[in-house]
Amino acid sequence: GPWGLPRASPGPDSPRLSPMAGNAKSPAPVVARQEQDKKARCGWQGGARVWEETEPQTKKLKSCEDGEPHRKPPKRKIVLLLAYSGKGYHGMQRNVGSSQFKTIEDELVSALVRAGCIPESHGEDMKKMSFQRCARTDKGVSAAGQVVSLKVRLIDDILAKINSHLPSHIRILGLKRVTGGFNSKKKCDGRTYFYMLPTFAFAHRDHDVQDETYRLSAETLRQVNQLLARYKGTHNFHNFTSQKWPWEPSAQRYILDMFCEAPFERDSMEFAVIKVKGQSFMTHQIRKMVGLVVAIVKGYAPEDVLERSWGEAKVDVPKAPGLGLVLERVHFERYNRRYGNDGLHEPLDWVQEEAEVTAFKEQHIYPTIVNTERHERSMAQWLSTLPMHDFSATAQAAASSGAKVPSPQEGDGHSD
């Protein structure tokens, strides 16, 4: 002490001084002791940190015992070129939760899951894989160039594995990588369909034979093409679909081209192919466009019904059978101009797959149309219903018959 006497240790009753009242270094041992307690709680031993929860590290080491850890194939946005014969299916679009009506997408999703391209949960909820189709083809309608976009795992030999789980009348003919935000329906700026029908559909009801012996004359073919050409341009097609008011903007459709090719024979029956290209089509629109021209050529409807059908009045337009309708090609012209030559993406033109597309049509689509027409006579039966149509029907007549009022919520189907 300052007087040369030994300091006495403070007893239990001795007053304790605050750090401000005495030596400022007095709390150092306390701080050190608190730091040691903190390190002990965090798992430090001898200056090295020891984790209390070691299970995640153990799992990581276990996965590497036999070498490289297993990695799932990366998920990428792609498009698939799809061809199918639609006979026996209730259209393209899948009806989730309904096993009664089988669709093309039911077969496709099942094959994608079984091939390991998507997990089963994505098959149940197709939004999880960003699935979108270019066209929602109707019941019995086939396709030689349908395109769907989706995210999949890029497994090895992906096309062969998917096709191994598909029936022979449904085939994936091509695959291409696309941009991450690609949507096949929104990016598609044109669709080409063809309608294959026996030429006796154009036989005049009064002075032509009405059976398979009929052969299409050059004069009748010119008449058919003159009528089809009148569809070109923008028109109001509210009479060519269901539940669509004439003042709805979506009733306006732009047709780029429509014509009938020269006839040809298959199994002693003469057929012709009508081709139509447009930006998009409503449900049943193409079949009604074909049906009205057939009714005019056969003499059941006057030519002026074509102009009246684009007006506001309700016109009774017959709907041709779905058997002969085929989605031939979808177009991505704007997408190709922007991304087709950027060095990162391929143009969506399917030139290299053209031979496979032609082979599929020859093997599955044309024979199905010919054989079904020969045995089931769908066109002949439909032609017999044409006299029942009233091509002068008005909006008032349709309203008095109890026609269903369209809902404003029902929008564009982009299908036929």
The CA distance from 248 to 235, in Å, is 12
The CA-atom distances, in angstroms, between 325 and each of 150, 188, 243, 286 are 26, 19, 22, 8
The CA-atom distances, in angstroms, between 137 and each of 28, 318, 383, 399 are 82, 19, 23, 29
Alpha-carbon dihedral 127, 133, 135, 136, rounded to 10 degrees: -40
Q: Residue 414 contacts by C-beta under 8 Å, 6 or more apart in sequence? A: 134, 135, 136, 185, 280, 281, 282
Task: Give me Rg for the CA atoms of the chain.
Answer: 36
Contact, 256 vs 232, CB < 8 A? Answer: yes
As given in the structure block, the two tokens for residue 358 are 């032609």
Contact, 260 vs 306, CB < 8 A? Answer: no
Distance in Å from the first CA to the final CA of the chain: 107
User: 138 an active-site residue?
Assistant: yes
Q: Residue 314 contacts by C-beta under 8 Å, 6 or more apart in sequence? A: 239, 393, 394, 395, 397, 398, 399, 403
As given in the structure block, the two tokens for residue 179 are 């941009």
231 is in an annotated binding site: no
Nearest to 386, CA basis, from 306, 316, 327, 334: 316
Name the catalytic one among 13, 66, 125, 138.
Answer: 138
Nearest to 361, CA basis, from 144, 197, 190: 144
Q: Which residues are catalytic, by number? A: 138
Binding-site residue set for substrate? 193
Binding-site residue set? 193
